[in-house]
A and B are shown apart, each in its own frame.
Chain A
């Protein structure tokens, strides 16, 4: 059995662990509030952008000279998978879930005989993926600030992706990130961004096919402007959703860690007191039997 001193050391160490996890939980909670706000404020723009582009694309798709970002290269032989995780761990299953989904997708692609490349965002997924897929990794980005992502960072990633697309490195681009639902729930999402997924529309519905619009300067010019921008916006949104999800996951992970530490301290204290009591009893018996012997 562990000695009293060992138990005391154990208890102190678990207590300080508990202090750390509960502080991390508090920090995550306040960061979560900010990240959630940012994610929610970015949603309207991304949604309206998608709507606008949907209207425009429905009219332009299939036409000659439609930009490649919209119509694709006509193949889907090679894929670019943009995996987005956090820079830091200690946030429950957040990073693991995203990476698992990415691996699943890569295995599916391999099974279909398609080639693929990986672009990693956040150092956790780079470290994890490079063991297996080092040869396929074409780019990495993890310089987002601790306070959250800025649009310039999303643009930077967008430009890197567009440059690779223009160079003909891939046909289809998919983002993998965690969509923020609540502090307890984050859904790992795969979102195709290149070519732009044109929403299904009813034939003959004039307003929906973009036929009713007038363009200034012209529809192709607007499209060539709008498409790279949309890419950056979708990446920005993914970054923000991911940021909020990370803090949410960390908060709930740290919450249960704090609770577990509390439980552990309780049971350790119980053992400590029992051992102490047993020791006192033994000492008393020794003294009494010593006195009787005299």
Chain B
């Protein structure tokens, strides 16, 4: 059994990460799940949350990214995460989040139909999850 898996983390703007890792924990739509080498094939949508990359040597995650949603594909070759936006957790700042929060609230106020409202709701959820990710990282 291989002891590493290939992880590709890509957003529309760029390829954020493509390397061999020991384990990755992914925020699936129905809850966080861990992917180890030789995981069974799986396709899942993602909810806003934190992707933790473990190098398989130390217990603590070696890298953490905040993602705001997307898709995960797991197959015997590795794990591909297609995300809309990914930010390294250590780069999250309170100012940035507050800005997003107020922008989302503004959109909520000005939303004229259900589609716009849903988009604004999602943006709010992203901001909330960001705050949680930041406080957890700080703790």
Contacts and interface: CB of A to CB of B under 8 A. Distances in A.
Interface of A: 38, 41-42, 44-45, 48-49, 52, 55-56, 151, 207, 212-217, 219, 221-222, 225-226, 233, 236
A38 B13 contact: yes
Contacts of A219: 43
B48 interface: no
B75 A207 contact: yes
Interface of B: 8, 10-15, 18, 28-30, 40-45, 71, 73, 75-76, 80, 82
Contact of A45 (B11, B29, B40): B11
Contact of A52 (B15, B71, B76): B71
A90 B3 CA distance: 55
B43 A222 contact: yes
A48 B12 contact: no
Nearest to B70: A229
B12 A214 contact: no
A45 B42 CA distance: 18
A131 B18 CA distance: 49
Nearest to B83: A45
A49 B10 CA distance: 10
Given A55-B43, A216-B28, A233-B12, 18 more contacts: A41-B15, A42-B12, A42-B13, A48-B80, A48-B82, A52-B71, A52-B73, A207-B41, A207-B75, A212-B40, A212-B41, A213-B41, A213-B42, A215-B44, A216-B29, A216-B43, A217-B44, A222-B71
Contact of B45 (A48, A214, A225): A225
Contacts of B71: 52, 222, 225-226
A15 B44 CA distance: 62
A48 B70 CA distance: 13
A41 B13 CA distance: 6
B interface, by DSSP: helix, strand, loop or mixed? strand
Residue among B8, B43, B80, B82 with max Cβ neighbours from chain A (10 Å)? B43
Complex A-B, nearest 6 residue pairs according to Cβ-Cβ distance, in ascending order: A216-B44, A41-B14, A45-B10, A44-B15, A213-B41, A212-B41
Nearest to B73: A52
A153 to B, nearest CB: 12
Contacts of A216: 28-30, 42-45
A20 B35 CA distance: 57
Contacts of B13: 38, 41-42, 151
B30 A217 contact: yes
Contacts of A225: 45, 71
A41 B41 CA distance: 26
Nearest to A221: B45
A52 B80 CA distance: 9
A51 B87 CA distance: 24
A212 B77 CA distance: 14
A45 B8 CA distance: 10
Nearest to A232: B12
Given A56-B43, A213-B41, A44 B75 contact: no
Contacts of B28: 216
Contacts of A212: 40-41
A156 to B, nearest CB: 12
A44 B8 CA distance: 9
Contacts of B75: 207
A217 to B, nearest CB: 6
A214 B10 contact: no
A22 to B, nearest CB: 32
